[in-house]
A and B are shown apart, each in its own frame.
Chain A
């Protein structure tokens, strides 16, 4: 048994070639469409590029850390993230919702940390348990997921809360939670839906009503969906061309640089452009699943699979929301939407995937 000496250059710097190229391709597409969506503001594009660079640095740094160490650190991340969530609950700032924490000149959302800390911690917890998990193991995992989830719902940020809890639940799913349990969970959530409806904020209820019938309130909350659908539909096969989207440039599209940037993309680059975009995401997703498939321990497998599938959920939820299939929840399009913390979180996630891939020990039969 010996460590292979013929590692390629990428592996030696702990980067993964296919994943890296997918990320860079998406970043490039993101900056191009952002220039148009921001009203041709090179300042916005530059700021976004700086964040991407920061994210890439974070990605490279994380990729260097051994997954075993990440597993040991996971509960610490979780504890720190919880402490910050409690701090936000007590002293948070932000328009309407208590999501942000001001730390001198830095402002960030602690819920972003939990997007990674929850799946890492659940995977760490499950890694030395008997799998498929027993009932008591599942109960503890559900607690680990529900506590941060509750704090984020309280902020109130339902979209992020769902994503955080989804990250943890996916780990449970990949660990082999019995299908009947999955089915029961689905049934319970259907039964609980009316209770959830009762607990929702007015604006959240409004979003769901709007999804069912956007024309009901065309200038209020239905406006987003109607305008986004028009933007997507009028893009056609090949789009109106870069910088020529009338929907976005005449200000019909709200949130066009952030959550609804996919509408600008569809309007200007058409279905063909969307296929290119989906291909770039597919490259990353396929590579993520491959990494999960070949991961050498249970922690690596669970984390890689969960992070990859979470990324898919981001993409699907955002695109579904813009094309009018899902309610408007504040989920950005990964690496394309304008915004700071989410890019750094995503890149860190890719760094974890690369760490799992590049720290494999190669065994050569003697």
Chain B
């Protein structure tokens, strides 16, 4: 024996082990024989049978995308539609020379280098037997030309799909938003089974907020395909459930009128029904055409939109932050009355400025010559700054914060649109937390005229105008009026969502302040009296100017000398009619300089239109 195992074990153990090894080898042999006989059975004896089955094997399960729900305006105008759209698709596995075929195809159908780039990027991601879109939105002419030459392009197919279309284009872009191709991040969020046949998803606005309702439920069909995968026949069908239709609260006429009234200026208009919170117009100007986004916006156009100084993609009404300026004065006046700091008859002397004890700084009134003795009503009508500096000083920041926050400033309104921003209502606590600084008395003063740290959105302006108009009732603004299931014809009406209303110790205070706001437009010396001339109804408003450009002390500057993009923003809040108001407005015209000249006329236009219509409806019903 040349080799021998070094072992301390008795030889019996080795013998047992050796026997077991042989046993195991035998076991393997037997099991392998079983396996091979099974393979012989399948691959030789029953080969023909399985070949037939394989050739006839053609049942495939394909998803069917549901039809997306439609969106209508309150007056029944279709705002988001589904239109048939033709796309040219390629199944790479079936094309022999892909590059040559595409070059050939260009004789018939124009292809941008960008489209080819996108196609090639998608080609890498997808499997060779999945279809890849080469060009979407083919014209009918292109479809016809391709149909004639189709035999020359095996593996190329025209696919008909429903694509989202927004008939009114940019008018509702900032309300409805748009749909776009599902991206990777969204892919992780959605239910893959329900979206297996869906290519688009809501990206902004109502399309995004109500995605679940609009999308519907995917269906499935079992189809017979031949060995090349072409569909021959539908065997079984589990139909998809269409998405629900949505009716908005927005009125197309009011919306169009607001856009027209903005007349190319930057800014926002929000119109609400004070008794419900229903949003009747929601305009952010300028806007963009949402149709451009549906089938993938070209990067050239996108960079134009993104880099435009007018920022058309920015939703000013929902996300634009502006100092509310003098529009907060009615709320300040209410706080003065409510906390017993002022009676409506108390007067403040306005010499054109106010100085805090021990400070050299002059807090100036917009009227350099001063207003003289000013009581509450006149302080609103003529927007006397000194009255409010003095009132703010007496109230203190804590009470100002308490009152203004009840009107929704500094927090989101909770509107049913994605991306709302809550603005800023400063307080002692806020300043300590974010700036690590104490609150200074001077900051209270400028807060009293809506300047300083305070920031609000146009939506918040409309919201607090509505709260004042309805004498304290707070309703959450909403753009969706009801949701309709078109298949069964059932409609779910969105209820009014109310928050804790603003309770005053004395309800007469509402009327005192509203009378002051009425004087703004329809009083003898009101700042916006020019715009109310000839109005057949009574309404209330408050002008505001948000300063962007700080004028040095003791210097005066002519408005025309300030560069246009540094000019003040013009603001206006209003509601009409005085009793039981039907419409509340928040309006901002960027760089419009004067609330009374730039913003208030827009309110008059909308009131004229809406109250006339509403009156007309009333007459018709009566």
Q: Quick one: which of A39, A176, A278, A305 contacts B13, CB cutoff 8 A?
A: A176
Supplied contacts A233-B46, A250-B229, 6 more A-B pairs, CB within 8 Å: A176-B17, A233-B42, A271-B43, A278-B35, A295-B5, A296-B7
For B229, list chain A residues within 8 Å (CB).
Answer: 250
Q: Which residue of B lies closest to A364 (CB)?
A: B2
User: CB-nearest residue of chain A relative to B1?
Assistant: A365
Q: Which residues of the partner chain B approach A231 to less than 8 Å between Cβ atoms?
A: 54
Partner of A233, one of B20, B53, B93: B53
| Interchain CA distance A295-B9 in the complex, whole Å | 13
**Residue with the greatest number of chain B CB neighbours at <10 A, chosen from A237, A301, A325, A361:** A301
Nearest-neighbor residue (CB-CB) of A235 within chain B: B43
26 A-B pairs (CB sep. < 8 Å): A39-B127, A132-B16, A174-B17, A174-B21, A219-B59, A219-B61, A232-B43, A233-B43, A233-B46, A233-B54, A234-B53, A236-B43, A236-B44, A246-B55, A247-B54, A249-B93, A249-B129, A266-B39, A274-B36, A282-B32, A285-B28, A293-B18, A295-B5, A296-B5, A296-B6, A297-B7
Q: Give the CA-CA distance A302 to B14 in the complex, in Å.
A: 11
Judge if A185 is at the interface, Cβ distance under 8 Å. no
Q: Which of B25, B39, B129 contacts A232 (CB 8 A)?
A: B39
A165 to B271, CA, bound (A): 72
Q: Which of A226-241 contact B (CB under 8 A)?
A: 227, 229-237
Q: Which chain A residues lie closer than 8 Å to B46 at the CB level?
A: 233
A347 in contact (CB, < 8 A): no
Q: Please measure, in the bound complex, the distance between the C-alpha atom of A293 and the C-alpha atom of B5, giving whole angstroms.
A: 10
Give the distance to chain B from A271, nearest Cβ to Cβ, in Å: 5
- The docked-state distance in angstroms from the alpha carbon of A132 to that of B13 is 7
> Which residue from B13, B24, B54, B60 sits with its C-beta under 8 Å from A230?
B54
How big is the A interface, by class?
35 or more
| C-alpha spacing A70/B25, complex, angstroms | 26
Q: Is B40 an interface residue (CB 8 A)?
A: yes
- In the complex, which residue of chain B has the Cβ closest to the Cβ of A226? B53
Are B20 and A289 neighbours in the complex by a CB distance under 8 Å? no
Is B47 on the interface with A (CB-CB < 8 A)?
yes
Is B233 an interface position by the 8 A CB rule?
no
Tell me the bound Cα distance from A237 to B50 in angstroms.
13
Cβ of A264 to closest chain B Cβ, rounded Å = 13
**Cβ contact of A278, chosen from B36, B60, B129, cutoff 8 A:** B36
Residues of chain B at interface, number, CB under 8 A: 48
Given contacts A174-B20, A250-B225, A285-B28, contact A298 B13 (CB under 8 A): yes
Q: Flag if A250 contacts B129 (CB, 8 Å).
A: yes
A246-B54, A250-B227 known; A270 vs B21 contact (CB < 8 Å)? no
Contacts of B51 in A (CB 8 A): 233-234, 236
Given A250-B129, A293-B18, A305-B21, CB of A233 within 8 Å of CB of B38? no
Tell yes or no: A316 within 8 A of B by CB: yes
Residues of B108-158 whose CB lies within 8 A of A: 127-129
Is B4 part of the binding interface, using a Cβ–Cβ cutoff of 8 Å?
A: yes
A296 CA to B14 CA, complexed, in Å: 10
Residue A314 at the B interface, CB < 8 A? no
| Chain A residues whose CB sits within 8 angstroms of the CB of B129 once the complex forms | 39, 249-251
Partner of B39, one of A234, A271, A309: A271
Interface residues of A in 332-366 (CB under 8 A from B): 361-365
Once bound together, how far apart are the Cα atoms of A298 and B225, in whole Å?
Answer: 60
Interface pair B13/A131, CB less than 8 Å apart: yes
Residue A89 is within 8 A (CB to CB) of chain B in the complex: no
Q: Determine which of B24, B32, B42, B47 lies in contact with A309 in the assembled complex, contact meaning CB atoms within 8 Å.
A: B24
Tell me if A294 counts as interface (CB < 8 A to partner B): yes
Q: Is B17 touching A301 in the complex (CB atoms < 8 A)?
A: yes
Bound complex: CA of A323 vs CA of B2, how far in Å? 47
Residue B57 lies at the interface, judged by CB distance under 8 Å to chain A:
yes
Q: Would you give the shortest CB distance from A71 to chain B, in whole angstroms?
A: 15
B34-85 with Cβ < 8 A to chain A: 34-36, 38-40, 42-44, 46-47, 49-51, 53-55, 57, 59-61
Q: Decide if B31 is an interface residue (CB 8 Å cutoff).
A: yes
0 or 1 for each of B325-357: is its CB under 8 Å from A? (1 = yes): 000000000000000000000000000000000
A174-196 with Cβ < 8 A to chain B? 174-176
Asked if B295 is an interface residue, CB under 8 A from chain A, the answer is no
- Complex Cα–Cα for A192 and B225 (A): 46
Question: Is B42 a contact of A232 with CB atoms below 8 Å?
Answer: yes
* Min C-beta distance of A59 to chain B, whole Å: 23
A79 at the interface (CB under 8 A from B): no
The smallest beta-carbon distance between B529 and chain A, in angstroms, is 68
Say if the beta carbon of B406 comes within 8 Å of chain A: no
Taken together as a complex, chains A and B put the C-alpha atoms of A365 and B1 apart, in Å, by 8
C-alpha gap A361/B49 in the complex (Å): 57
Q: Which of B2, B9, B38, B127 contacts A365 (CB 8 A)?
A: B2
Is B3 an interface residue, CB under 8 A from the partner? yes
Kindly state whether residue A242 has any CB partner on chain B within 8 Å.
no
- The contact string, 1 if C-beta is below 8 Å from chain B, for chain A 294-325, is 11111001100100010010001001100101
Judge whether B35 and A319 touch: CB under 8 Å: yes
Answer whether residue B222 sits at the interface, using C-beta atoms and an 8 A cutoff: yes
- A100 vs B229: C-alpha distance when bound (angstroms): 37
User: Is A292 in contact with chain B by the CB < 8 A criterion?
Assistant: yes
Chain B residue numbers with a CB within 8 Å of A297 are 6-7
Contact of A173 with B by CB under 8 A: yes
Contact with B along A36-77 (1 / 0, CB 8 A): 000111000000000000000000000000000000000000
CB distance A232 to B44 under 8 Å? no
Residues of chain A within 8 A of B127, CB atoms compared = 39, 41
Does A125 sit at the interface, judged by CB under 8 A? no
Chain B positions within 8 Å of A233 at CB level? 42-43, 46-47, 49-51, 53-54
Q: Determine whether A252 belongs to the interface, using a CB cutoff of 8 Å to chain B.
A: yes
- B9, B39, B93, B222: the one within 8 Å of A131 (CB): B9
Q: Point out the residues of chain A lying under 8 angstroms from B20, CB to CB.
A: 173-174, 176, 305
**Option from B16, B50, B222 in Cβ contact (under 8 Å) with A234:** B50
A-contact 0/1 string along B79-97, CB 8 Å cutoff: 0000000000000010000
Cα distance, A251 to B227, chains bound together (Å): 11
CB-CB under 8 A from B21, the residues of chain A are 174, 289, 292-293, 305
Report how far A297 CA is from B13 CA in the complex, Å: 11
Tell me the complex Cα distance, A292–B47, Å.
40
User: In the complex, which residue of chain A has the Cβ closest to the Cβ of B236?
Assistant: A219
CA of A252 to CA of B129, assembled, Å? 12
Known: A176-B16, A289-B21, A293-B18. A325 touches B38 (CB 8 A): yes
Report whether B4 and A363 are in contact in the complex, using a CB–CB cutoff of 8 Å: yes
Assess whether A316 is in contact with B50, with CB atoms less than 8 Å apart.
no
Per-residue contact bits, chain A 260-282, to B (CB 8 Å; 1 contact, 0 not) = 00000010001100100010001
Nearest neighbor of B23 in chain A, beta-carbon distance: A173
Closest to A252 in B: B57
Most buried by A among B9, B21, B46: B21
- Residues of A within 8 Å of B128, CB to CB, are 39-40
Residue of B whose beta carbon sits closest to that of A173: B20
In the complex, chain B residues whose CB is within 8 Å of the CB of A41: 127
Interchain CA distance A105-B506 in the complex, whole Å: 65
With A233-B51, A236-B47 as known contacts, state yes or no: A271 contacts B13, CB within 8 Å.
Answer: no
A309: chain B residues within 8 A (beta carbon): 24, 28
- Residues of chain A within 8 A (CB-CB) of B43 are 232-233, 235-237, 266, 270-271, 274
Whether the Cβ atoms of A246 and B39 lie closer than 8 Å is no
Provide the residues of chain A in CB contact with B5, threshold 8 Å. 294-296
Complex Cα spacing A39 to B91, Å: 13
Q: Which of A175, A233, A363 has the most CB of B within 10 A?
A: A233
Q: Are B28 and A234 in contact (CB under 8 A)?
A: no
